[in-house]
Chain A
Amino acid sequence: MAAHTGGLTAATHPGSARGVVRIAGLVRAFGDRKVLDGLELSIAAGEFVALLGRSGSGKSTLLRALAGLDHEVTGTGKIDAPAEVSVVFQDARLLPWKRVLDNVVLGLPGPDALDRGRAALAEVGLEGREKAWPVELSGGEQQRVSLARSLVREPELLLADEPFGALDALTRIRMHTLLRRLCERHRPAVLLVTHDVDEAIVLADRVVVLDAGRIAADVPVGSGVARRHGSPEYAALRDELLARLGVDPVAADPAAGDPPALDPTAEESAA
């Protein structure tokens, strides 16, 4: 984990000119209400960015703009995004009438698609479940299939819209570990939309807070020490982010009250 964190932070250049994602002056409006208002953001290759924000702050709108899914939204601005973009939705969004492997390789070109799909399933720990129907899987397993479906496309940019929001706490911790490991191997740039401050700190190289359609804070997450629950750096970062989100950190019960299992290094064995 430590080596991984070091490697990722070394590649991190917030606002770098050679970012794979460059967003300039992005405006998106629903009717008269401007959800994104002149947003500027760039993400470097292989960088893991967590996007925090209250509900209605425009997180999902930004993600949908990057994914090219905002057909009926009016807006201006410039988006440079790589050609290979994959999206992980909050719901696993598997086609219920296709078996797991067929879901993973949906629309995947090439004669070796099935083999790549099998390899991707093995990577997320679902070897042997290729022929299962999605309804036969648990929520966490479905979300792992959806991760496999995204990663088998070797994306340069992985967009994740609260991918673990619907999972129970223990499964979520396992998924954090899995996601970090997969990102370490495939090294896509990641934009993870979340409302969970701890998830953001544990996973990301950089945490961006969105407020009223603009970036209100852009905080790099330091080395592995800061990721450890209970460390003073962690608590300070958590308090800062919560304050940016308009939550009183004391009332929000800081890291001390959380179960120790939230420590990502301790989680490696559990996953």
Chain B
Amino acid sequence: MSTHAPTLTKTAVTGAEQAVSTAAPPATPRRRRLGPGRPIPYGWALGPVLLLAVWAAGSAAGLIDPRNLSAPWTVVSTAGDLIADGRLQSNLATSAQRALLGLLFGVAAGLALAVLSGLSRLGEGVIDGPVQIKRAIPSLALIPLLILWFGIGESMKVITIALGVFVPVYIHTHNGLRTIDNRYAELAETVRLTRPQFLRHVVLPGALPGFLLGMRFAVTAAWLALVVVEQVNATSGIGYMMELARTYGQTDIIIVGLVVYGLLGLVSDALVRLVERRALSWRRTLAG
């Protein structure tokens, strides 16, 4: 504003303009901003740090009973102990293997079914109905049946995770395939693409955003299913470690397990988003 007013008076040609600029120094009154305003640096960390501070203060002051919630420093030292004797690593490896296998089979199945159902009317008729029915049943409700069929071994766990994973992959990929703009199909006809060329250049790249969105849901679903299967009849894994800690009232170990689950979720989501940014760089300019 300060630079504005002098220029106005210098170049002012009409008396009215001059009058305005001399009467009220800020020639145009600044409007009140209605939006939330400028972002605070590291603003996203505010809430978590506050939470941690309350937790630490509560524990130090003895307001929080360690039987309900261990102090943050206890959790840190417990994590150190668990890593030192190798328990955390071996349980984490078991968990990660289950999740990855389930994810692998689930994504493969979801993708294959979505392509079959998305590209052929017959395929859609056969596949879509059962998948929608499956979608209405929570995967975890199937566990009793899966235990009867596959026992309580690894295969039951991987299958449960895969069942949770394939639904979002199927839904979003199928939707991506079906919502490809018909104008692109017209274009493909006018430049005389063959059917395989049409699939390769138009359909599959067009469905990729949908597939990757499905992947993000799938990764979350995989961890969720993992937690449940590891707390039912497991003898290893992060979930088992937490379940065992519950029987001994070790809240510090439970918290370590929760932190590990949280980190796994964050890291895997970040990975999928990284892949998304790479694969969908053609729309990065829009996203900014």
Contact = CB atoms under 8 A, between A and B. Distances in A.
Interface string A113-137: 0000000000000000000011110
Interface stretch (A3-11, A81-89, A180-188): A81-89
Contacts of A85: 190
A67 B286 contact: no
Nearest to B187: A93
Contact of B191 (A96, A106, A133): A106
A84 B102 CA distance: 51
A107 interface: yes
A251 interface: no
Contact of A89 (B187, B206, B281): B187
A86 B187 CA distance: 10
Interface in B126-171: none
Contacts of B206: 97
Given A93-B184, A95-B184, A97-B206, A106 B193 contact: yes
Interface residues of A, number: 23
Contacts of B186: 69, 89, 93
A97 B282 contact: yes
Determine which residue in A95, A98, A133, A135 has the highest number of CB atoms from chain B within 10 A of its CB, and name it: A95
A99 B201 CA distance: 12
Contacts of A67: 190
A107 B197 contact: yes
Interface in B182-220: 183-184, 186-193, 197, 201-202, 205-206, 208
Given A89-B183, A95-B202, A97-B205, A107 B188 contact: yes
Nearest to A94: B187
A133 B287 CA distance: 14
Nearest to B201: A106
B32 interface: no
Contact of B208 (A89, A97, A135): A97
A136 B285 contact: yes
B31 interface: no
A228 interface: no
Interface string B265-286: 0000000000000001111011
A68 B189 CA distance: 9
A67 B188 CA distance: 12
Contact of A135 (B189, B192, B285): B285
Contacts of B281: 133
Contacts of A69: 186, 189-190
A229 interface: no
A25 to B, nearest CB: 25
B215 to A, nearest CB: 17
Contacts of B201: 95, 98, 106-107
A40 interface: no
Interface string B220-261: 000000000000000000000000000000000000000000
A107 B191 contact: yes
B184 to A, nearest CB: 6
B271 to A, nearest CB: 21
A218 interface: no
Interface string B24-61: 00000000000000000000000000000000000000
B20 to A, nearest CB: 35
B183 A96 contact: no
Contacts of A106: 187, 191, 193, 201
A113 to B, nearest CB: 12
B208 A149 contact: no
Contact of B282 (A91, A107, A135): A135
B183 A91 contact: yes
Contacts of B189: 68-69
A69 B187 CA distance: 10
Contact of A149 (B183, B191, B193): B191
Nearest to A96: B282
B189 to A, nearest CB: 6
A135 B283 contact: yes
Contacts of B202: 95
A144 interface: no
Interface of B: 183-184, 186-193, 197, 201-202, 205-206, 208, 280-283, 285-286
Given A95-B205, A97-B205, A106-B201, 7 more contacts: A67-B190, A68-B189, A87-B190, A93-B183, A95-B202, A97-B206, A133-B285
Interface of A: 67-69, 85-87, 89, 91, 93, 95-99, 106-108, 133-136, 149, 153
20 contacts: A69-B189, A85-B190, A95-B184, A95-B201, A97-B206, A97-B208, A97-B280, A98-B201, A106-B193, A106-B201, A107-B193, A108-B191, A133-B282, A133-B285, A135-B282, A135-B283, A135-B285, A135-B286, A136-B285, A153-B191
Shortest Cβ-Cβ A-B pairs, 10 listed: A107-B191, A97-B205, A87-B190, A107-B193, A133-B282, A97-B282, A93-B187, A135-B285, A106-B191, A136-B285
